[in-house]
Structure 1
Amino acid sequence: MEQLVSVNRVMASNVPGYVAERSLRGQRKVITGYAKTRGYGTFTGFTWGILVRVDQNHVLGPISDITGKIALGGLAIVLPALTFLFWTTLRLQKEHLKLRESEEALRRAQSELEQRVQERTVELEAKQAQLVQSAKLASLGELASGIAHELNNPLNNIGLFAGNAEEYVTSGRCDPAPLKDCLIHIQEQVHRAASIINHIRTFARTAPLVHEDLSLNEVLRESVSFMLEQLRLHDINVVFHLDENQPVVQGNKIQLEQIFVNLLSNARDAMQLSDKRVITITSHLADYKTVRVEIGDTGSGIAPSVLPRIFDPFFTTKPVGHGTGLGLSITYAIVKEHRGTIEVKSSQETGTTFVLHLPVATHVNGMELAVRKANKTETAQA
């Protein structure tokens, strides 16, 4: 078989009946059958091999057709899949690009919004500061007559003592003791007038808010002294029930004074038609963490229908031209800024009481130290 496969031409020797096959060189055939036989008669001694060849295309054609169909079928499946994958990838890339653009737009919008909020916050804080300042100036306007009277007293005393001193000098009496007494009294009255003016200037000025440890009782007394002439002119008595432990809070002195001046002014106005005119001021440690302050009057009280609105800006029960409606709303804002609370109890029979809770300046462990500090301060001032 191997010999036959290698033969490119079949030769039958040079004998009768010779048949020469055409050249098979260059042709690709597939051997599908083979038979071996011997020669007979004239061809005795020869061995014949019969090869049956079939065209390769005839044998492999069906396989090629099937392979081609499979390839076409695979291509028909793969090509749409690749097209879909390409289209999906392109669509996802576009969506991703849109998402990035949207994210960038949102980031810019958020940045702009934060900037606007910050600007708006600064603007609102500035307006609130202006309202607080306007309310302070309005309070000073209401207290102007009382302040003028407070200044008039030391000025009259200064004039009296100065006249006495002049009389001692012109009379020729050389005794220095009375003259020295007059000069000392003049200095005291000058200091008193200067203290009143400085208090007014400090209360009215716009200054950075500095929080410090303060004796709340001292702030209450100074607030009353600021209103004392106004209260006297309205025949109002002030009764103190202050905690002897001298509770200490951390806050801004001017703002706390503004709170108490506002509440005292409201109490003054509420008692104009009352026969009994008393303001009661109470302070005590509520739980060694907060200080409770009560400012009560014997006025006509607040109607229950308007009680929930008294801290609203520009709300007032006073006649037109007699109030801005800012006092209690600013008081509420300042109390919140000091991390405190304020509430009101009112009865048309017994009057109105404002209750404030302010955190102490130190924790429980440091309360004793804070109390001693406040006691030393008041002892030194006395």
Structure 2
Amino acid sequence: MPSLSKTRTLASLLCFFLSLATLSSELSAEDSSTWHSGKRVISVGADYNFPPYEFAGEDGEPTGYTVELTKAIAEVMGVHVEIEMADWQSILKGLHSGHFDILQGIAYSDERAQNILFSSPHSIINYSIFARKNSPSIDDVSQLKNKEVMIQNASIMHEYLLDNNIQAVIIPVKTHEEALRLLASGKHDYALTANSPSLYLSKEMKLNNIHAIASPISGQRLSYGALQKNEELIAIFNEGLAILRNTGQQQKIHEKWFGALQQSSFPWKELGLYAAYIIIALLLAIGAIGIWNAMLRKEVEKRSSQLKAQQEQLIQADKMASLGVLVSGVAHEINNPTGLLMLNLPILKSAWEDALPYLAQYAKEDPNFSLAGLRFDRLSQELPYLLDEMDQSTLRIRNIVNDLKDFAREEPNEITQEVNLNEVVSTAIRLVDTTIRNTTDDFELYLDKRNPIIIGSAQRVEQVIINLIINACDAVEKRTEAIRVTTTQSLDEKEVLLVIEDEGRGIDPANILRLTDPFFTTKREQGGTGLGLSVSSAIIKAHHGTLAFDSELNKGTSVTVSFPIYKPNDAMEGTFINTVHSEPSI
């Protein structure tokens, strides 16, 4: 048995090491509050019951439109977010106290803007006055005077009623769900709540005895909001939003969460489908041309094996010319009615909003008043969604037409710039850095020290490089498989070579000759259109360059792009610099 002094000594040492461990843990915790796996950590506040924007799922984890939007921004901007949920009043206080860095769904007001910086809006949310079905209709918020009105505590509508001296009897509640449930159970007179969350919650809770009776308040902008000292966070989220809008990812997230709420059987929806029918007809026509060319190609092969290569080149040239003329002409014809729709739909929406008070007054006098076979109270709820849906469909048509025009267009005289290929490659890699990092742990970049110069369009060449790198990432199935990007010059120094290699799945030899065919893709199920390599091939051809593929199944693919060199720099010797393993050097 050890002596008492030894025991005390051991106890002292134990306390000392425990103190060190506690201090280390505290330091680690302090560090982890700012950085996580090499990425900055941003604390995000969210409402725990504001579906479908943000709410706690069945597993208690944050989910919803703004939650997915925040995570997508974090991915493209290379930051780490931690989303914490509470009632709205608590998260608003948490922003001002510094507990949260940023809120992901805060409505803008001039009063709030005195202390809070707002990003560009990611949503427009409308508020309505909800009542029990046997309640009298109202047209204006002034009619809420002396009425018991339930409002989410500290929300934008709470501030609105106070700032505008409506003199309603305000009943603050924590959530929209609480307001709607109390209203349906016969408590209080009205609830002033957001449309989409209210419709979502009413459907979930099967509240059939309440409905929206008026929308007298204009739409509110939902944005990211941070204190003025965190101006750089707003810049990060603004840039992330812009990237998601331009890539169409924000629209996909929006459709996932709001598509079901926007569905309607109203006949005007068919107007939004007419342009889609035109696109389908266009694709069928292009498919017919492809079938015709395939049959012609087979016929030529039967005639003579010696003429096969020449005939295929002629057919391909004829096909590209036919497609170019067809796509350009039809795209122009589609753009005309699409432009009219984009011009007229806002006017139609504005006319509806202007006429709504008069129609509501008439409906008040005639309870059976209907339009287009629908009762006015139902039409007034559904028509704004139909108009917005038609507007979004028109934008989708315009984007599809722009993609087709990109495929068919001839390069203009802008291909006259001196372009440093190394700089363009570096820029392209920066833009797809996140995709590369998510794909492989072995990325290598070799840049020619002689800084090769070509004549062309930097933007168009960058488009080609991004497309080829993304294709290489798609081919890689394991993080241990490498991707290499190289710039160099031919032995006679007359050409600049860009080589992109991957150790992915490779390409079936039967598909090599069809890679640049328009609409040919092996990724149809993943959303591929087959235009990427076709457009890239056209850009390279316009730059008087060539595109070549060398691939072996299960071993990888090498893509070589060559451009005529312009003023080779003879002042420097050597070939490659900047070799990086595991992560892209940008």
Q: What TM-score do you get using the length of structure 1 for normalisation? A: 0.45
Q: What TM-score do you get using the length of structure 2 for normalisation? A: 0.30
Q: Which has the larger radius of gyration?
A: 1
